[in-house]
């Protein structure tokens, strides 16, 4: 019975007239594109694909570091022309490793370094600018001095410019033994003796220091202590107010002789030899101080 019903339904369907299937329209009911639009869309899509492809990183060519020229790509007749970037355009992407400087740059830097002012040599002392291990003795160490006469010369000379704040009118080339004796004399005698007179001591007038010569420049005489760096000659004590106490005029002057004779006397013992106007005619205008040692003790005249 079931199969009989199915056959009846099928026979009824076959007997009906043609349904709408066979009468479907020959063309699509969808709207059509305007003429030329399909080609433009295709070209535009292809052009977009070309731009995306050009933006992708390219592998570097093997064996050659030369920059490749820019390449023009036309994908379709109406597609925009796309230029692919050349290797030179990717220079920023080059390795960030530091490059070696050219030799010419290094040579110029070396020459510039030579022309730069060099720092001053550090002189011997406990403070920059001091000598003989004493901060209050100002000056600089200099090269050993070889004398032109036998017996002259200084193995460790210094050029002293000031002692205990008192300037020397001329830098004195002497050895450290003489420099320390001079500083001791200024500190313990000259400053305290002058006191506040004329505003105090400003400088000492130096008229002789190292010189390779005989005593008093006499022919055939022994080598002077000046020729050994042991001696210094002082002609005056200059004060802050501009006045000077000179050995030549002050030794016999009532107002200045007391100061000069006092500092002359105090130098005896600090120095091995002390000579002044009472010694001989060669010392009428200055004090001669040296650190030579004598058998009978200091020689002071």
pLDDT in tens, 161-219: 999 999 999 999 999 999 999 999 999 999 999 999 999 999 999 999 999 999 988 88
Residue 109 reports pLDDT greater than 90: no
Mean pLDDT of 111-136: 61
pLDDT at 39: 47
Residue 108 lies in a domain: no
Other C-beta atoms closer than 10 Å to the C-beta of 217 total: 10
Q: How far is C-alpha 143 from the chain's CA centre?
A: 26
User: What is the phi/psi pair of residue 132, to 5°?
Assistant: 60, 25
pLDDT at 71: 46
| Cβ–Cβ < 8 Å for 283, 293 | no
pLDDT at 235: 98
In what helix (H) or strand (E) does residue 239 lie, and over which residues does it extend?
strand 231-239
| Cβ–Cβ < 8 Å for 154, 210 | yes
pLDDT at 41: 43
pTM for this model (two decimals): 0.59
Give tens-digit pLDDT for 53-82: 455 556 655 654 444 444 444 444 454 554
Residue 7 lies in a domain: no
Quick one: pLDDT band at residue 232, thresholds 50, 70, 90? very high
Residue 118 reports pLDDT greater than 50: no
Report the domain count for the chain: 1
Give tens-digit pLDDT for 77-108: 454 554 444 444 444 444 555 566 566 655 66
CA distance linking residue 199 with residue 113, whole number of Å: 48
pLDDT at 239: 98
Residue 239 lies in a domain: yes
Give the CATH number of the domain where residue 219 resides.
3.30.1380
| Cβ–Cβ < 8 Å for 174, 160 | yes
Number of H helices, E strands in the chain: 7, 14
Give tens-digit pLDDT for 11-29: 555 555 544 444 545 555 5
Residue 230 lies in a domain: yes
Residue 39 lies in a domain: no
| Helix, strand or coil, per DSSP, at residue 81 | coil
pLDDT at 120: 37
Segments forming the whole domain that contains residue 263: 164-300
Computed over every residue of the chain, the mean pLDDT equals 77
Q: How far is C-alpha 278 from the chain's CA centre?
A: 56
Other C-beta atoms closer than 10 Å to the C-beta of 128 total: 9
Residue 139 lies in a domain: no
Residue 176 lies in a domain: yes
Burial class (CB in 10 A: 0-12, 13-18, 19+), 168: buried
Higher-confidence position of 111 and 220:
220
pLDDT at 49: 44
Higher-confidence position of 284 and 51:
284
pLDDT at 97: 58
Residue 74 lies in a domain: no
pLDDT at 162: 98
* Cα-Cα end-to-end distance for the chain: 170
What is the DSSP pairing of strand 299-300 with strand 273-275? parallel
Mean pLDDT of 239-251: 98
In percent, how much of the chain has pLDDT > 90? 53
């Amino acid at each position: 019975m079931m199969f009989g019903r199915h056959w009846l339904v099928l026979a009824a369907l076959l007997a009906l007239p043609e349904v709408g299937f066979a009468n479907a329209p020959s063309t699509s009911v969808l709207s059509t594109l305007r003429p030329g639009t399909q080609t433009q869309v295709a070209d535009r899509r292809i052009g977009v694909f070309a731009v995306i492809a050009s933006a992708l990183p390219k592998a570097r060519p093997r064996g050659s570091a030369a920059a490749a020229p820019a390449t023009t790509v036309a994908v379709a007749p109406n597609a925009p022309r796309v230029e692919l970037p050349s290797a030179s355009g990717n220079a920023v992407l080059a390795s960030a490793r530091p490059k070696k400087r050219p030799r010419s740059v290094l040579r110029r830097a070396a020459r510039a370094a030579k022309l730069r002012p060099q720092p001053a040599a550090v002189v011997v002392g406990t403070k920059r600018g001091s000598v003989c291990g004493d901060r209050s003795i100002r000056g600089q160490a200099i090269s050993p001095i070889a004398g032109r006469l036998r017996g002259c010369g200084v193995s460790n000379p210094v050029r002293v410019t000031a002692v205990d704040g008192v300037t020397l009118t001329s830098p004195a080339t002497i050895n450290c033994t003489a420099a320390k004796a001079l500083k001791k004399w200024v500190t313990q005698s000259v400053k305290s003796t002058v006191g506040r007179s004329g505003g105090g001591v400003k400088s000492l007038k130096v008229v002789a220091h190292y010189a390779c010569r005989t005593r008093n420049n006499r022919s055939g005489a022994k080598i002077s202590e000046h020729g050994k760096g042991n001696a210094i000659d002082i002609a005056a004590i200059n004060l802050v107010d501009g006045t000077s106490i000179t050995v030549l005029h002050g030794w016999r002057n009532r107002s200045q002789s007391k100061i000069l004779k006092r500092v002359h006397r105090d130098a005896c013992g600090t120095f091995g030899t002390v000579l002044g106007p009472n010694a001989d005619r060669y010392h009428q205008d200055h004090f001669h101080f040296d650190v030579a040692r004598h058998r009978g003790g200091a020689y002071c005249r």
